[in-house]
Amino acid sequence: MRSLRLRLILAATAWCLVGFAVGGYVLSTLFAEYVQRSLDNRLVALLEAVVAGSGSIGDGQVSLLRPPSDGRFEQPFSGLYWQIDGSSGPVGRSRSLWDQALPTPAAPPLLRDVAGPSEQQLRVAARWVALPQVKDRHLFQLAADRAESAAEVARFNRLLAWALGAVGIGLLLALVLQVRLALRPLDAMRRALADIRAGRAERLAGVYPTEVAPLAGELNALLEHNDQVLERARTQAGNLAHALKTPLAILTNEAGASEGPLADLVTRQAAEMRGQVERQLARARAAGAAGTLRGRTELAPVLDRLLRAMRQLYAGRGLALEATGAENAVFAGERQDLEEMLGNLLDNACKWTRSRVQVGVSVERGRLQICVDDDGEGLSHDERAMVLQRGARLDENRPGSGLGLSITAELAELYGGSLVLDEAPSGGLRARLDLPAA
C-alpha cells in the first residue's frame, strides 16, 4: 500500500462497490414491490369481475353467471383460479383447480400467500360478499401463481447486475485513467529529478499544477542550498590546505638545509603531514561530490588527457599505452575525482610496467568497470593487500608517497565502488576500479 496510485484506485473502487451494492439493492427492492403491487391490483380487479359476474340461481344458491374471459381458468393447474365458499363449504370453483380447493379461513385478509396445487405458491385476494336475494355471505377468492412475478423479478435482477457491472467496469477504467492523469505531474517531477541526478539538468524545469508547484519550488531551493553548502565546504578545505602547505614547505626547506637526526625526522614528518593533507582533501572533496545529485563525467576525454600526460611523463621509456571501450562510458561523479583515481592507477602502472599499459572499460548493470593492466612483475596476494594500506611502499627507491592506491580505494568507496588488485593476463598487476555509471 505504499503506492499512492493504488490507494486512490482501491479507495474509489471500494466506494463504487458499496454504492453499486446499495443502489442495486434499492432498485431490486423497488422493482419487486412494483411487481407485487401490480399482481395485487390485477387480482383485486379479477376478484371484482368474479363478484360482479355472480348471482342467485334460486333457493339462495350462488353461482358464477358470467365466467371471466381468461382461458387459463379452464386449464387444470394453470396458475389462475377462482373459488366461491359458503358457510358449509365451496359452492363453486374454476375448472383450473380440478379436484383441489383453496383454503377457507374464517376471516382471511384481503391479500395473502398460500400453498396451492402442484406445490405452487399462490397470491390470493379474498372478500366476504353479501349478494342480493342471498341469505348468507359468501367468500370469494381469486388466486394466481407467484412464479411468473418471481421470474420477472429475477430477470430484472440479472439485467440490473449486468448493467451495473458494465457501468462499474467503465467507471473503473475512467478512474484509472483519471488517476494516471492526475499523478502525471509527479511522474514528470521524478523524471526531472533523475535528469538532475544524471547530470543532464541542474533544476526542476517545467510548469506544474498548483498543488505540485510548491513542492517543485522547495526542491529547487534545496538544490541551490546544497550547492552553496558544498561550495563553502570546498573553499574552506582549499583554504585550509594552502594554510598548511606553506608552513610545511618552510619546515621541509629548513630541514633540508640542515643535517642530523632532527633534520631527518622533521623531513619525514613533514612529508607524512603533506600526504595526510592531500589525502584528507581528496576524501572531503569526494564525500561532498558523492552526495550531490548532478555528478556526471564522460570517461573518454579524461582518459585521453591522462594517457597523453603519461606518454609525455614516461617518454624516455617508450611505453605503449592503450585504452578500449571508453567511448560511451559516463562516470556518476566529479571530474577531478575521476582524474585523481585514474591518474593514480595509470601512474602506478607506468612505474612498474615493462613495456605496455592497457586500459579496458565496460559498463554492466549501471556500473562502470575500469581495468588497468601492466606487464610488470606483478604482486603476490599479501603484497596486493599491503599496497592498499595508507603510505605503504614496496620499493623506497621509486618516487611517490605511497598514498596513491589507498586514496583511490577510499575515493571509490565514497562513491559506493571499490578497487580490487588482481593478476593481469600479461602476468603483471591488474587494478580493477568499480564505480557508478551515469
pLDDT in tens, 421-434: 888 888 889 999 99
Q: How sure is the predictor about 283, in pLDDT bands with cuts at 50, 70 and 90?
A: low
Residue whose C-alpha is closest to residue 348's, from 268, 248, 424: 424
Q: Which residue has the higher pLDDT, 325 or 235?
A: 325
Contact 92, 63 (CB under 8 A): yes
Instruction: Name the domain boundary from 290, 312, 330.
Output: 290
252 with 151, same domain: the answer is no
**Residue 23 pLDDT greater than 90, yes or no:** yes
Grid coordinates given for 225 = 542550498
> Domain containing 258: what range?
214-290
**Residue 44 pLDDT greater than 90, yes or no:** yes
**Residue 364 pLDDT greater than 60, yes or no:** yes
Residue 206 Ramachandran class (φ > 0 left, ψ -120 to 50 alpha, else beta): left
Q: How many domains does the chain have?
A: 3
174 with 75, same domain: the answer is yes
Residue whose C-alpha is closest to residue 149's, from 43, 285, 51: 43
d(CA 282, CA 237): 10
185 with 264, same domain: the answer is no
Q: Which residue has the higher pLDDT, 429 or 288?
A: 429
d(CA 155, CA 28): 11
Tell me, yes or no, whether 207 lies in a domain: no
Give the single-character DSSP code of 320: E
144 with 22, same domain: the answer is yes
10 with 120, same domain: the answer is yes
> What is the per-residue pLDDT for 285?
60
Q: How sure is the predictor about 401, in pLDDT bands with cuts at 50, 70 and 90?
A: very low
Q: Classify residue 87 as exposed, middle or buried by CB count within 10 Å of its CB (0-12, 13-18, 19+).
A: exposed
Phi/psi at 407 (5° precision): -65, -40
**Residue 242 pLDDT greater than 80, yes or no:** no
166 with 273, same domain: the answer is no
Q: How far is CA 396 from the centre of its chain?
A: 58
**Residue 48 pLDDT greater than 70, yes or no:** yes
**Residue 287 pLDDT greater than 60, yes or no:** no
311 with 373, same domain: the answer is yes
Residue whose C-alpha is closest to residue 208's, from 190, 223, 221: 190
Q: How far is CA 252 from CA 260, 264, 266, 319, 380, in A?
A: 14, 10, 7, 34, 35
Q: Which residue has the higher pLDDT, 157 or 59?
A: 157
Least reliable range by pLDDT among 142-151, 256-265, 306-315:
256-265
> What is the per-residue pLDDT for 390?
56
Q: How sure is the predictor about 400, in pLDDT bands with cuts at 50, 70 and 90?
A: very low
* Average of per-residue pLDDT values in the chain: 83
**Residue 64 pLDDT greater than 90, yes or no:** no
Name 432's Cβ contacts closer than 8 Å, sequence gap at least 6.
369, 370, 371, 419, 420, 421, 422
**Residue 292 pLDDT greater than 60, yes or no:** no
Tell me, yes or no, whether 203 lies in a domain: no
Phi/psi at 120 (5° precision): -80, 145
Q: How sure is the predictor about 66, in pLDDT bands with cuts at 50, 70 and 90?
A: confident
Q: How sure is the predictor about 36, in pLDDT bands with cuts at 50, 70 and 90?
A: very high
145 with 280, same domain: the answer is no
| Residue with cell string 570546498 | 234
Tell me, yes or no, whether 73 lies in a domain: yes
Tell me, yes or no, whether 262 lies in a domain: yes
> What is the per-residue pLDDT for 204?
84
Phi/psi at 227 (5° precision): -60, -40
Tell me, yes or no, whether 204 lies in a domain: no
d(CA 435, CA 438): 10
**Residue 79 pLDDT greater than 70, yes or no:** yes
286 with 305, same domain: the answer is no
Tell me, yes or no, whether 251 lies in a domain: yes
164 with 224, same domain: the answer is no
Sort strands 356-364 and 320-324 into parallel, antiparallel or unpaired.
Answer: parallel
Instruction: Name the domain boundary from 272, 290, 308.
Output: 290
Tell me, yes or no, whether 150 lies in a domain: yes
**Residue 144 pLDDT greater than 80, yes or no:** yes
Give the number of C-alpha atoms closer than 13 A to the C-alpha of residue 170, restricted to the C-beta side.
7
Q: How sure is the predictor about 288, in pLDDT bands with cuts at 50, 70 and 90?
A: low
Beta bridge partners of 373: 358, 430
Tell me, yes or no, whether 209 lies in a domain: no
d(CA 31, CA 168): 21
Q: Which residue has the higher pLDDT, 52 or 57?
A: 52
d(CA 46, CA 275): 114
Helix axes 404-414, 335-352, angle to 10 degrees: 150
Instruction: Name the domain boundary from 148, 167, 195.
Output: 195
265 with 141, same domain: the answer is no
* Separate counts of helices (H) and strands (E) for the chain: 8, 14
Contact 252, 267 (CB under 8 A): yes
30 with 143, same domain: the answer is yes
pTM comes to: 0.53
Least reliable range by pLDDT among 133-147, 262-276, 338-352, 357-371:
262-276
Least reliable range by pLDDT among 28-32, 156-160, 286-290, 299-303:
286-290
